[in-house]
Structure formats: C-alpha cells, structure tokens
Amino acid sequence: MNPRSSEDLFQLAPVIPVVVLSDAADAVPLARALVAGGLPAVEVTLRTGAALEAVERIAAEVSEAAVGAGTVTTPEQAEQAAAAGAAFLVSPGCTPALYEAMAATGLPALPGVATASEALALLERGAAAMKFFPAEAAGGRPYLKSLSGPLPQVRFCPTGGITAASAPDYLALPNVGCVGGTWLTPEDAVAAGDWEHVQALARAAADLRPA
C-alpha cells in the first residue's frame, strides 16, 4: 500500500492523520484502527522518542497502512525514517539540505512551506507537492486560494489547525490534494486505548468530501 509519488499519496484518502505517540506499543492497534476506518496513510511525527520504533512496527505489521514520518526537521531524521521503513516523509518547513536528504531517500515527500517564495524555492528543485503549514495560522483557505492563481502547478496538504468541520472547505480548493490533522487521534483516546473511537473518527474523515 506504499505510494510511489506524492500524487499517489493524495489519492489514498482525503485526510492524513497526524499521530503523536509516546508509547510504541500503541502504534500497531492505532494504525489498524485508522486503516479500518478508511485512512491508510498515517503520519507518525518524530516528536517523541517512540516515533521511529512506531514507524518500524507499523511498517512491519500493518501492511494495509502507508506509514510516513512527520516533523522531519534534519537530514539525519530523513535517513533514520527511511531506514525505519517510512513510506513517505513530511516536514513542517524546508531547507536545501533537508530537501536533498528527503529526495535522496527516494520516498514521496511533502516538504513544508508557508509562503509563495518558499513554494517557488521548492519548485525550482523539482517538488510540486508540499505541506502548507501551519495552515490556519498562516492564512488558511483564503491564503491557499490566493496561491492557486500564480502557482497552479503546486498541490498542497494543508495541516495545522484543521478540523473535521473545516476540512471540506480546504478539500474544495483545486490546489489541495488532501489535508492533515491530529483530530483523528485525541490524546485521551490514545491513552485509554479507545481504538473504536479512533476508528469512528477515521471513518467520518474518510467520508469527507469537498464542500
């Protein structure tokens, strides 16, 4: 179920769940719940000590999932995530060194941008799919809509402050491939191992359509 390109990744589902895991033991049941709900692309953020092991476990045990690594902020993390079995990489922002390291893995990537200049810098390097972060704080839907005029060739995965209620408005934009967010995996549900709740949230998100 691994995407070969960022466009493939956009095709998997309208929403990429962004997951913060403090215990790698939660990784497999969490990923299974998301997949069962209809969201096969799962982004595990490298913000915790458990993250790389979580990526490894999901990659090894949940073949229906495409597990990606998020919060990739250094070239070393891009290499570590690829070695752990990540199927795609996501970063909150980008630098030339980080871009090169992500590209060197050969994995689909969504490097992060928040401005037209940052998007142009990545276009020059050959990227046409990007994360728009932090989506709501950086200008939200009106900002992305404005970018679609001069930069129609870029497709974005807006992430940051997006909810089940606001996602359809983003998905209606021509330059949005999918959206990302943490709302599918509430901290209390993960702590309680309430995978049914996670599955229900995933199912609702998988059914989201453009407004």
CA 6 centroid distance within chain: 10
Contact residues for 180 (Cβ-Cβ < 8 A; gap 6+): 15, 16, 17, 18, 43, 70, 90, 131, 157, 158, 159, 162
| Among 27-35, 78-86, 180-188, 196-204, the segment contacting ligand ELE (CB under 6 A) | 180-188
DSSP secondary structure string, 50-84?
THHHHHHHHHHH-TT-EEEEE---SHHHHHHHHHH
Q: Is 177 in the site for ligand ELE (CB under 6 A)?
A: no
H or E stretch covering 181: strand 179-181
Stretch that binds ligand ELE, among 9-17, 33-41, 102-110, 174-182 (CB under 6 A): 174-182
Among 2, 6, 159, 166, binds ligand ELE (CB under 6 A): 159
The region of 1-9, 24-32, 49-57, 177-185 touching ligand ELE under the rule CB under 6 A is 177-185
Query: Is there binding between residue 139 and ligand ELE (CB under 6 A)?
Result: no
**In terms of CB distance, is 85 or 134 closer to ligand ELE?**
134
Q: Which is nearer to ligand ELE, 50 or 61 (CB)?
A: 50
- Is residue 133 involved in binding ligand ELE (CB under 6 A)? yes
Contact by Cβ (8 Å): 178, 157: yes
Kindly state whether residue 166 participates in binding ligand ELE, applying the rule CB under 6 A.
no
Nearest to 196 by CA among 26, 37, 56: 37
Which residues belong to the active site? 43, 131
Interacting residues with ligand ELE (CB under 6 A): 18, 45, 70-71, 92, 133, 159-162, 180-182
